[in-house]
Amino acid sequence: MNFYIVIPAHNEEAYIARTLKSLIRQSLLPKKIVVVNDNSSDSTASIVDDFTRQFDFVSMVNLKSSDVHLPGSKIIKAFQAGIDQLDTNYDVICKFDADLIFPTNYLERIAFLFNNDQTIGMASGFCYIEKDNEWVLENLTQKDHIRGALKAYKKECFKHIGGLKHSIGWDTVDELLAKYHGWSLHTDKSLRVKHLKPTGSRYNKQSQHLQGEAMYKMRYGFWISFLSALKMAYKRKSLRVLVHTLKGYLISKQQGLPYIVNVAEGEFIRKYRWKHIRKKLF
């Protein structure tokens, strides 16, 4: 299978070389890797430039955007800038973060999963972080959720979901829309990816407001949003997470922000969420 990889990168000089080294050492080499240098003020660009001179399947795009590190449209804008440089001769399109080290069989295994089950539209391994000199699972989400750091989409699935949404919540709604269109997801516990910069360390109160905004834009409704926010607060052991997330939801509703799914998709999403909530409760 032909893999195209887009890597948004903002001030990743400490990590990007290790990420690229792990990708050029794959047992199944990607056909193209595009690094989007998103307004970096460090040596990210020069590091990537060294790789572009050595490997003809590695390229770089320079993008000028905000320095603010928030989840949502910034990273998707960078991803889209990379997509715009590519043709459509791929079987799998990947959005990878710039602070990951992939096992050498990662792409080969993902290709096997897609080829072995034609219903799989998205697939990934799991992120591990270093703690007390050991690599442990970065257990932030359910095991069937594909982390935003390492998304891989089969071409047909990527087209069905309409690409990635330029909004907070993009890395949840993509999975829900894939399911809406009949695709399944697969996470492979044998694929352990080293995550060099743990998620959440750079997020703040505003990002929690944006989580609430995402729930509104995905048409969750208040009670699903409340339960989702409560779960997040429990995992992070912070009542503030609940308060700020719900505040973000209510402000978004008051402002009448545009949804990122249509009515039918929203109805599917709510039914799907309630089904899983009932399953866990009962």
pLDDT at 6 over 60: yes
Give the residue among 269, 184, 170, 172 at the shortest CA–CA distance from 219: 269
pTM score of the predicted model: 0.92
Contact 94, 6 (CB under 8 A): yes
Question: Rounded distance, CA 95 to CA 148, Å?
Answer: 8
* Domain, as residue range, for 277: 205-281
pLDDT of 201 reads 47
Q: How many domains does the chain have?
A: 2
Question: Rounded distance, CA 193 to CA 125, Å?
Answer: 7
Counted residue by residue, the chain has a size of 282
Write the pLDDT tens digit of every residue in 20-75.
Answer: 999 999 999 999 999 999 999 999 999 999 999 999 999 999 998 765 555 567 89
pLDDT of 73 reads 74
Question: Rounded distance, CA 218 to CA 171, Å?
Answer: 11
Which CATH number does the domain housing residue 26 bear?
A: 3.90.550.10
pLDDT of 65 reads 74
54 lies in the same domain as 77: yes
- 141-162: average pLDDT: 92
Residue 56 lies in a domain: yes
> Residue 277 carries which side chain, given as an amino acid letter?
I
Choosing from 195, 218, 243, the residue where a domain stops is: 195
218 lies in the same domain as 134: no
pLDDT at 191 over 90: yes
The residue with tokens 């729930």 is 215
Give the residue among 115, 125, 121, 170 at the shortest CA–CA distance from 146: 125
- 89-104: average pLDDT: 98
> Residue 174 carries which side chain, given as an amino acid letter?
D
pLDDT of 139 reads 75
Portion of the chain with pLDDT greater than 90, in percent = 80
Choose the weakest-confidence range: 127-141, 153-167, 220-234. 127-141
> Residue 186 carries which side chain, given as an amino acid letter?
H
125 lies in the same domain as 51: yes
Choosing from 170, 195, 220, the residue where a domain stops is: 195
223 lies in the same domain as 84: no
Give the residue among 29, 18, 33 at the shortest CA–CA distance from 106: 29
Residue 79 lies in a domain: yes
154: left (phi over 0), alpha (psi -120 to 50) or beta: beta
- 150-170: average pLDDT: 95
Residue 200 lies in a domain: no
Q: In Å, how far are 26, 152, 191, 219, 220 from 267, measured between CA atoms?
A: 41, 26, 34, 8, 9
Choosing from 163, 195, 227, the residue where a domain stops is: 195
63 lies in the same domain as 140: yes
Pairing of strands 184-195, 32-38: unpaired
Q: In Å, how far are 21, 26, 60 from 86, measured between CA atoms?
A: 21, 21, 11
Residue 9 lies in a domain: yes
What is the full DSSP assignment across 138-159? ---S-TTPPPTTEEEEEHHHHH
Contact 12, 44 (CB under 8 A): yes
Q: What is the average pLDDT value for the chain, to the nearest integer?
A: 92
Question: Rounded distance, CA 36 to CA 82, Å?
Answer: 6
In 3-state terms, what secondary structure has residue 272?
Answer: helix
Question: Rounded distance, CA 125 to CA 210, Å?
Answer: 26
pLDDT of 71 reads 57
Residue 71 lies in a domain: yes
212 lies in the same domain as 73: no
